Amino acid sequence: MEAINKKHLKRINGRHASKVRDVFKGRDELVFKQINDSAFFFNTEFDKYVNHVLDEIYSNNPSVDTSDFKFFLRNSIAPNASCYGDGMFDIHLGLFDTLKSDDEFAFVLCHEIAHKILEHPLNNVTNAISRLNSDETKAQLKTIKRQKYGQTRSALSVIDELNIDFLAYSRAVESQADSLGFILFKNTKYNQASAISALKGLDLKDDILLSHPVNIEDIFNFPEYPFKDYWLEEEVSIFNTSEKINDYQISSDTLKTHPEIPFRIGKLIRENAIDTTSNVPIGSEKKKIEQLIHNRSIQAFIDIKQLDLALYQLVKKFQEKNIDKESYIEKMLLILKQTYLARQKHELGKYVQPKNKFSKEKELNKIRIFLHNLEYREIVNLGKYFYTNCGVELPEETINQFRIFVD
């Protein structure tokens, strides 16, 4: 990546080239830090799958210089993929929750490759730097300095307008990437109608990501140890406000990096006369990595001890039959063990946010309330009875990890 980045920096020129290079250098340092912090998942089987699809795209589009292209798998449940502009692309774990076939995945890859060919990330940065250094912006800042009141608010407004976001594109820019991406895509063997179904799968509402019903009351209700109603009791707040807050934002993994999908779908169909009635996927390799991806989307949160999100993902994946029962039992016991240890060290609040009364993420909030209301002995009992009622015999080496529950 360092070699690729250096080549990319040398190609940057123009009036504000040095400032643009500084922005990309800062971005590169952040990405390297994220790699070292395990924000990405490296796996041979996943690489084989991605390369299988990329080989079809590359071999049928020989005019595209792909020598510096590198694809990474990011530990994120947001259904997304991104082009960083220098040859690095990331694919999010959550993307595979919406994509149904190799064909759809191939179109997403073509779309991101189109962003690189059209230099959209570089243009984003260059345009932002140009605005920042324009006479108009300088005049705005001078006016703010002369203000007697409201300087901070005015300055923040200007900063927000000039914010450099590599991944946030306009509708027009996304449509350009769709159009060029489809040209690359239709050169492959994949079904052209899958371009439309891929976009439809990404047309998500703001609150759909964490809306799966998690029936904590049923999961932790045992004949020997019934569910306690007070485990879901909320603390009464002395504050009252009508402000609605979405307290779970996936940082730069925002769902809105692909805006106004219905418009883009209509434009793509009109421009290319795509027959959407003949969407029979051609590729079939995706099934080979589905278990891997589903398990990783749970384990990623367990690894960083975001126990509320780990529990949500685990229940959702199991109820949707995307993981087997043994994996479900083992990971549930691991989450309960980590909850016990965090409670023991008085660190639960470090890993599990308190419930936000005005959050749209109701299911996640239910989990947060539940985890925060559990006492040490209750966690041990839940682990014990969850295991004894699971109907699965775990290997001895696995059981040894959870002696706190099974002894």
Indicate if the pLDDT at residue 236 is higher than 90: no
Amino acid 199: pLDDT: 93
Average pLDDT over residues 39-64: 95
Domain contains 327: yes
320 and 346 share one domain: yes
52 and 102 share one domain: yes
Alpha-carbon distances of 228 from 21, 48, 237, 307, 386, rounded to whole Å: 58, 47, 22, 20, 15
338 and 362 share one domain: yes
223 and 238 share one domain: yes
260 and 332 share one domain: no
256 and 326 share one domain: no
Confidence class for position 255, pLDDT limits 50, 70, 90? very low
User: What mean pLDDT, rounded, does the chain reach?
Assistant: 84
Amino acid 235: pLDDT: 66
Amino acid 162: pLDDT: 46
Indicate if the pLDDT at residue 326 is higher than 70: yes
Residue 374, Cβ density class (10 Å: 0-12 exposed, 13-18 middle, ≥19 buried): buried
Question: pLDDT (tens digit, 9 = 90+) per residue, 75-131?
Answer: 988 889 999 999 999 999 999 989 999 999 999 999 999 999 999 988 888 887 877
3-state secondary structure 240-289: CCCCCCCCCCCHHHCHHHCCCHHHHHHHHHHHHCCCHHHCCCCCCCCHHH
Domain contains 313: yes
Domain contains 149: no
Amino acid 327: pLDDT: 93
Indicate if the pLDDT at residue 245 is higher than 80: no
Indicate if the pLDDT at residue 31 is higher than 80: yes
Question: pLDDT (tens digit, 9 = 90+) per residue, 349-361?
Answer: 999 988 766 556 7
Residue 372, classed as helix, strand or coil, is helix
Confidence class for position 208, pLDDT limits 50, 70, 90? low
104 and 238 share one domain: no
Amino acid 306: pLDDT: 92
Percent of the chain with pLDDT over 90: 54
Question: Distance between CA 285 and CA 102 in Å, rounded?
Answer: 7
Average pLDDT over residues 35-53: 93
Amino acid 280: pLDDT: 83
Q: Which of 184-193, 305-314, 394-403 has the lowest mean pLDDT?
A: 394-403
Domain contains 78: yes
315 and 345 share one domain: yes
Q: Which of 10-24, 71-85, 138-152, 213-227 has the lowest mean pLDDT?
A: 138-152
pTM for the complete prediction? 0.83
183 and 331 share one domain: no
Dig out the tokens for 367 from the structure.
Answer: 């989990």
CA 214 to centroid of chain Cα atoms = 20
Amino acid 135: pLDDT: 62
Q: How many domains does the chain have?
A: 2
Residue with tokens 């290319």: 272
Domain ranges, residue 72: 2-128+163-206+251-278
Confidence class for position 247, pLDDT limits 50, 70, 90? very low
Question: pLDDT (tens digit, 9 = 90+) per residue, 260-274?
Answer: 888 899 999 999 988
Domain contains 353: yes
Question: pLDDT (tens digit, 9 = 90+) per residue, 365-390?
Answer: 999 999 999 999 999 999 999 999 99
202 and 226 share one domain: no
Domain contains 355: yes
237 and 263 share one domain: no
Q: Are strands 88-92 and 70-74 parallel, antiparallel or unpaired?
A: parallel
Percent of the chain with pLDDT over 70: 82
What's the one-letter identity of residue 281?
P
335 and 374 share one domain: yes
Domain contains 70: yes
Question: Distance between CA 180 and CA 24 in Å, rounded?
Answer: 25
Comparison of pLDDT for 163 and 305, the residue scoring more: 305
Question: pLDDT (tens digit, 9 = 90+) per residue, 300-310?
Answer: 999 989 999 99
Domain contains 265: yes
